[in-house]
Structure 1
Amino acid sequence: MSSREDETLAQAAVAALTWQLELSPKPGLPDPRDLDARATRKDHCSLRWSAKALAPGLAAMAAAARRTGLPTPELRAELGAIGRNTEHSVGLAGGGHRGALWALGLLVAAAALEPRATGNDVTAAAKRIAAHQDRRAPRRPSRGSSVSAKYGAAGARGEARAGFPHVRRALAALDTARTAGAPEPYARLDALLTVMSTLQDTELLYTAGPLGLRHVQAGARGVLEAGGTFTEAGREALSALDDDLHARAWSPRGSGGLLAGALFVDSLPVVVRTPARAA
């Protein structure tokens, strides 16, 4: 794999995150409707801009995986160091995307280790990387890890060490919706709701507690049980859930990051285009 392929993987991951940001209506998550609301327009534009700042770090993660060639403890530590530097760069560009960076970073590295892999093979490779401890990680606990410890939730680390089960569920939901003839935006919304319906989202646990998390999970299941977002009943249920979450200021951010991860894996294998030579 060449540096061009590393950059292509990184751009594919940023594109997946951008697709997630562009998707609408996402209950409780930033989406293009925020551009019409003065209170949230700046937040949405900032997220779109800062997503681009992930690309150099993601390319460096792909290069590290390609150079190492195996899911070793040394690779895990290097990915962690790159991730922390990338978080700083993203912060300067507007912030956000910490959860998405964690998921996309591991999945990009996995795709670099297994260039021809797709779907569950990529998540399995990411699992092998995440199995190792990051020996260089700061000892202070993050908010997510503190919430995970408090409530016994898997959290982002548990999700990765389990092989990203919610990315796999999102991929299956995409396939089901597409097979049923749903247009792509509806297929992606159904995939998001599939993740929301079962994920122990530490962001929701932090802001809403266990009862709030179960409330959101039940709402997401209700949309799917109504027929999904491609049906009239499903869209009505989605609208009600969206209004409810915005009124409560609850945001399932963990689900948004995992949808971006699923959309990235869904785009694999990436095609590296060689520039045409001048005549």
Structure 2
Amino acid sequence: MGHPEPFDLKYVAIGNEDCGKKNYRGNYLKFYDAIKRAYPDIKIITNCDGSSLPLDHPTDLYDFHVYTSANNLFSMSHKFDRTTRQGPKAFVSEYAVTGKDAGTGSLLAALAEAAFLIGLEKNSDVVHMASYAPLFVNSNDRRWNPDAIVFNSFQVYGTPSYWVQRFFTESSGATLLNATLQKDSSNSLVASAITWKNSEDGQTYIRIKVVNFGSNSVNLQISVDGLDPNSVKLSGSTKTTLTSANLMDENSFKEPKKVAPNQTLPEDAQEMSVLLLPHSFTSFDLLKESVSLRITEDYSSLVSSI
């Protein structure tokens, strides 16, 4: 392949969407045994879904694919809440909203995907990795809709689904906080919270992400256990929102950022009272005066790996 040194291969998936086929299990075990004997450090990925039922064969990870409607993917933000914490973890290697809800990359699709990703982030103890699919498409040879990044010989733009990915760039290695919505909250909301350290300025932030999948604005009061609201620095805190006038709005070469994140200052970082626009994905990065975050002992946390 024109590469002088061995590839640093860490994962091998055996098959692609082959679970349930007549000879898959027998062939899988042959490959599994042979690869493990020769390369014991390589992680093997099975095609069989282990999120609901235990697997009947050994594996390090199991593959999970989902292409579906916006409403269904939004509801799947809780898909891994009840998955067993024992055994292999999930690799959500293909996910996207498809069909009429997606067009060639709509805001509606992106919002549902954002909610699904928040669910993966909150279950990062059992979801090891995730990747949107497909990533690229040449506009002159489009064979699948939608795709995250569209290009031709001299132009490129990201779909709303691409911009959703940018909201999660700090999630890997971050500390996931136990975020809950009040019982009387709208069922159109999905939220998560992490703490992360900015490598550029060395500051520690609390990032709260909320999807409002509904058609009404929502006033949200944010409360973080162990955090004094007066310790939040308004000057360094930001609010980033992904929304548009129409749910089916898309980006294009002519309007590459018709649907793109807009960053502003929070309305009131210290009062922690925020307004969520209809059909929006909003992220709040709250900068603390001190880099240490106090969390009460009963406040659960874990490290996110998405």
Q: TM-score range by the shorter chain?
A: 0.3 to 0.5
The structure carrying a bigger helix percent of its residues is 1
Q: Structure with the greater relative contact order (CA < 8 A, sep ≥ 6): 1 or 2?
A: 1
The structure carrying a bigger strand percent of its residues is 2
TM-score (norm 2): 0.31
- Of structures 1 and 2, the larger Rg is shown by 2
TM-score (norm 1): 0.33
